[in-house]
Structure 1
């Protein structure tokens, strides 16, 4: 069985040091990495740097964007993870309100011949962010970036 570990805010593996510890102390054939761009950025980790360092262990990708002003406010006020989601911290790739540049991340994955899933995640309240609008926004952006 192959494990694909998901670094996540408010868990035991959250920041770059945690990821390094996990990757350095596990069998590279048995333990792979889920790249979640939003959770990494939230934790103060550059998702591109993780991609570059561990591209050969990445087996699943969650493409999630961050609204920087909400992240800044959450960190300043000590707002928790769930309340940050409710405040609208996350959005999709292609949203101009997002802070993450996905192009170099996608390029690194392509150079490594990544063939796994690219899962778009928004984690937004549908009352505040109409799901179809954001799904189409992400789809258009990804089609422009990766060509299909």
Structure 2
């Protein structure tokens, strides 16, 4: 990503410091379902964690491969995630699954399978509420089921109506969709969640500033009192 925009790590660090921001993770993926590529994927993961460590980060968010694979490929993926989690732990990191539409871990059933087939001591869960909901799940219920494995959470609202291939059109600012975020927040409170909670935007219909201001107002008005 830095190469794409011609930005050095030093420049990124300066910009983050200037803006009072902190880099907490990256979206990491690779051919977890292909044993022939596991060595290379692990090497890239270690490089990614070395980069993140420079900025004080200790989370590696892992996206699964594209859908349409066999049950054997799913099992291979899960075995690899245990290896990846072990490699992460050696660097003082946590690695965890990020559910996503169009990928091998999309539905509640697939999340269950992945969680069952990975070691909770090695591989965590970093859910996206919009993808949980659009994938057919109840975000609060799924978060509650795996609250002991939550390493970070992306809050993103969504509506299911007219869900098509371009799911981004089904995502919204917090409070503008159908997800019960107060229920999600109570799960985090009751589970004594103490990690990163990210307000995630796939689309900003009125611009990024307006969207984040709307999300901020929703958080202050609706979610902050839950922790009060």
Q: TM-score range by the shorter chain?
A: 0.7 to 0.9
Q: What TM-score comes out, normalization by structure 1 length?
A: 0.83
Where do 4+ consecutive residues of structure 1 move more than 3 Å? none
Q: How does 1:58-137 map to 2 (within 5 A)?
A: 58-66=150-158, 68=159, 71-74=160-163, 79-80=164-165, 83-85=166-168, 88-95=169-176, 98-124=177-203, 126=204, 128-137=205-214
Aligned positions, number: 133
Higher relative contact order (CA 8 A, sep 6+): 1
1:50 aligns with 2:142: yes
CA distance in 1, matches of 2:141, 2:224: 20
Q: Is residue 7–residue 19 contact of structure 1 (8 Å, CA) maintained in 2?
A: yes
Structure with greater helix share of residues: 2
CA distance in 1, matches of 2:139, 2:131: 9
1:4 aligns with 2:87: no
- Among 14, 17, 36, the alignment partner of 2:106 is 14
Q: Is residue 36–residue 61 contact of structure 1 (8 Å, CA) maintained in 2?
A: yes
Q: 1:31 offset after TM fit, Å? A: 0.5
Q: Can you give the 5+ residue segments of structure 2 that lack an aligned partner in the other structure? A: 1-87, 89-93
1:140 aligns with 2:217: yes
Cα shift readout 1:98-146 (whole Å, capped 9, x = no counterpart)? 111100110110111101111111211x4x3321111011111112312
Q: What TM-score comes out, normalization by structure 2 length?
A: 0.55
Q: How much is the aligned-residue C-alpha RMSD, in angstroms? A: 1.5
Q: 1:29 offset after TM fit, Å? A: 1.1
